[in-house]
Structure 1
């Protein structure tokens, strides 16, 4: 079973009366623009049912409050989901979760973790044997991802011919750890795309594996390609299901509306096998329907099963605001800024 987690932002920069707004990361289409917006963040953990495609079925889709952060929220969601699973899953995470904090918070969770690493990360090997003098060392030699001179001989190396990515070179190093999580050993995988024809070499792709060691190197790295289904789901609910279209007044209203997104996604998944494709005039017919294609043809299902809602009533004319009724200005809330203070280093007196 494969799980994937990530978080996204519901941008509300002009909602000055919405409580608990924070600064959230959001990619900007223009180059040079800061990838920051004001709104509310939501963390999602989803089940990826297929080997390929854009289907992602969310199990939890919850708001990240101003008292929480994406790392802590994702760790709590993973722990809650794994308690109800019959087998040990593989969880896939982006580079933001490839840190010591996430590794330590999910150390007791019965799930294998495959995370992407930023190219400027520094890891450490196993410490050398104790010499008998002074304090035993906690870290070994540095392993800088962007400095090949610090790389020891790989524990495993192989070449794979991928049908879409071409010829790939895979390298594996074991028994590495972050500086803040020395007790949690990990395996680092480098995926390098070699030159094929007119293609130029691209930057290496780094992954970190925390889990059982009985899986082959070829199968581990290929699982990470399934993580992008969560990104497709975020795009689908924002563009097709209009998740971020309403302008609600309170966080509780936004949460209730957000709870409908996983329910709608599961309904489309359950109707996928029994629905007939209804392509638009500019679309080609296909066999494996995506969430968008199922949503286009879902009207045929609603026409058969009907709806429990009553018939719409005539609108009429509103009476408007009652004369003499006092008006009260809504409360405006400041933007909550999450701060992080690094611990001060204690200087040692050499005198």
Structure 2
């Protein structure tokens, strides 16, 4: 990169660091230096107290925990700061957002409130477990090619009283509005695509976000049954007309009519990818779950169903077909191929989760209060954003077994982090120097804790109907 470009990127990084510091409303110096210590540590973060020994953290370990337990982060302001940074786009200029949940498991934290039972996978078929923890919903912008980078834009901890899809809609609305306010989307631009897994109710998301310039693409379970539009009403017919037409069962090929589009694409990783699509399919909604309190007649949410089948999946046996639902109708062949290819980019978010947990130590601390966990989560997001902004600034420091030299586009987040300490020395550090202090006396020797922490049971609260 030429000198002018390097200066511009360095200015963006320094500007982000200053704006991030202004979003810290309490214990700002301790929290900011804790974030820098996590960025510049030589290896993966295995303990918070070990970060206090890094040269970037100029304060004691007591201030580290004071910052996490009693500090402050203006989340709304920081969300807008992150949205103003560079956002990856597709070749046609489209922004693609992926939403997914990652779990901070806390099985032994009986004194930690607001834990939920988190679905976790284990080795072997049928070995999934439900483990107490804090689930976090992340929204990230995806890059078009195969990469381990995503742009994390927001994170919200799922509370026991939250409904999964409604929470996702509220979170996505805030992110999209922040992107529009930052000028990343203007009138006439391609609509923003939202990609989600089968845990999200796609028609419900499309209904709640209908006033925004977005399109929803979600995976559906292979046992779903949808319906075609109702047939035209016969002249002179009495009674209420049908709302749903012929059934479309994912498991029964006899219910599949001739597809609207059918393509075969050769891929290097999956072999031949066979895609077929059917137009104007909708689920038959009932007043359960998210639709329980819906006022008026339940809507008909029509969309396009795509069935994707590949020849092989690396490391697995016979691949199963993938069923996708898109909120738009009358899609073309080219749009169908772009949709399923963009959905496969959603799995790049799994690389981001792995990096946050295994390298930046997102789920490493054993914090008791969920509010402290929220503060640490936003520090990790700030660290990941700084690494993304510094991709074209760091000098690659490869291990002997790694391929080098690597272009900035090929550098992984872990390799960028190795060289971030040198980049940090050229950026702005808005923190104030530490003041000399003496540690407190602590609890007297031999005394016992007279105020034990209360115990909290994990899981959603039971719904009870109280009649007076």
Q: TM-score, normalized by length of structure 2?
A: 0.66
Match of 1:39 in 2: 133
Query: Are 1:234 and 2:357 an aligned pair?
Result: no
Q: Are the equivalent residues in 2 in contact too, given 1:100–1:179 (CA < 8 A)?
A: no
Q: Are the equivalent residues in 2 in contact too, given 1:5–1:91 (CA < 8 A)?
A: yes
Q: 1:325: Cα distance to partner?
A: 8.3
Return the alpha-carbon distance in structure 2 between the equivalents of residues 174 and 233 of structure 1: 34
Moved more, 204-213 or 290-299: 204-213
Query: 1:82 is paired with a residue of what secondary structure?
Result: helix
Q: Are the equivalent residues in 2 in contact too, given 1:44–1:58 (CA < 8 A)?
A: yes
Return the alpha-carbon distance in structure 2 between the equivalents of residues 339 and 204 of structure 1: 37
Q: In the superposition, relative to structure 1, how do residues 52 and 322 fare at CA in structure 2: closer, same or farther (>3 Å)?
A: same
Moved more, 206-215 or 235-244: 206-215
Q: 2:412 aligns with which of 290, 296, 304?
A: 290
Return the alpha-carbon distance in structure 1 between the equivalents of residues 317 and 121 of structure 2: 26
Moved more, 296-305 or 281-290: 296-305
Q: 1:267: Cα distance to partner?
A: 0.2
Query: 1:102 is paired with a residue of what secondary structure?
Result: helix
Q: 1:162: Cα distance to partner?
A: 2.1
Match of 1:330 in 2: 453
Return the alpha-carbon distance in structure 2 between the equivalents of residues 202 and 256 of structure 1: 40
Q: 1:114 aligns with which of 206, 212, 217?
A: 217
Q: Are the equivalent residues in 2 in contact too, given 1:99–1:178 (CA < 8 A)?
A: no
Q: 1:102: Cα distance to partner?
A: 3.2
Where in structure 1 are there 5+ consecutive unaligned residues?
342-351
Q: In the superposition, relative to structure 1, how do residues 40 and 94 fare at CA in structure 2: closer, same or farther (>3 Å)?
A: same
Q: In the superposition, relative to structure 1, how do residues 164 and 244 fare at CA in structure 2: closer, same or farther (>3 Å)?
A: same
Q: 1:100: Cα distance to partner?
A: 4.0
Return the alpha-carbon distance in structure 2 between the equivalents of residues 317 and 98 of structure 1: 52
Return the alpha-carbon distance in structure 1 between the equivalents of residues 270 and 124 of structure 2: 28
Query: Are 1:244 and 2:349 an aligned pair?
Result: no
Moved more, 175-184 or 22-31: 22-31
Q: In the superposition, relative to structure 1, how do residues 174 and 228 fare at CA in structure 2: closer, same or farther (>3 Å)?
A: same
Alignment of 1:298-337 (within 5 A): 298-305=420-427, 308=431, 310=433, 319-322=441-444, 327-337=450-460
Alignment of 1:169-208 (within 5 A): 169-180=274-285, 183-194=300-311, 202-208=319-325
Q: 2:378 aligns with which of 255, 259, 263?
A: 259
The structure whose RCO (Cα within 8 Å, separation 6+) is larger is 2
Q: Deviations over 1:278-332 (max 9, x none)?
A: 1123322222111111112212223444854647979x98744137786211111
Q: In the superposition, relative to structure 1, how do residues 90 and 340 fare at CA in structure 2: closer, same or farther (>3 Å)?
A: farther
Alignment of 1:1-351 (within 5 A): 1-84=95-178, 85=180, 86=185, 87=189, 88-131=191-234, 132-180=237-285, 183-194=300-311, 202-211=319-328, 213=331, 216-285=335-404, 286-287=406-407, 288-305=410-427, 308=431, 310=433, 319-322=441-444, 327-337=450-460
Q: Are the equivalent residues in 1 in contact too, given 2:302–2:328 (CA < 8 A)?
A: no
Moved more, 316-325 or 22-31: 316-325
Return the alpha-carbon distance in structure 2 between the equivalents of residues 229 and 193 of structure 1: 19
Q: 1:164: Cα distance to partner?
A: 2.6
Return the alpha-carbon distance in structure 1 between the equivalents of residues 361 and 195 of structure 2: 26
Query: 1:292 is paired with a residue of what secondary structure?
Result: helix
Q: Are the equivalent residues in 2 in contact too, given 1:138–1:182 (CA < 8 A)?
A: no
Q: In the superposition, relative to structure 1, how do residues 326 and 11 fare at CA in structure 2: closer, same or farther (>3 Å)?
A: closer
Return the alpha-carbon distance in structure 2 between the equivalents of residues 306 and 175 of structure 1: 54
Moved more, 4-13 or 42-51: 42-51
Higher strand fraction (1 or 2): 1
Q: 1:129: Cα distance to partner?
A: 1.4
Q: Are the equivalent residues in 1 in contact too, given 2:202–2:216 (CA < 8 A)?
A: no
Q: TM-score, normalized by length of structure 1?
A: 0.87
Q: In the superposition, relative to structure 1, how do residues 31 and 155 fare at CA in structure 2: closer, same or farther (>3 Å)?
A: closer
Q: Are the equivalent residues in 1 in contact too, given 2:206–2:215 (CA < 8 A)?
A: no
Q: Are the equivalent residues in 2 in contact too, given 1:7–1:70 (CA < 8 A)?
A: no
How many positions carry a matched residue from both structures? 338
Query: 1:183 is paired with a residue of what secondary structure?
Result: coil
Q: In the superposition, relative to structure 1, how do residues 281 and 233 fare at CA in structure 2: closer, same or farther (>3 Å)?
A: same
Q: Are the equivalent residues in 2 in contact too, given 1:45–1:74 (CA < 8 A)?
A: no
Aligned Cα root-mean-square deviation (Å): 2.8
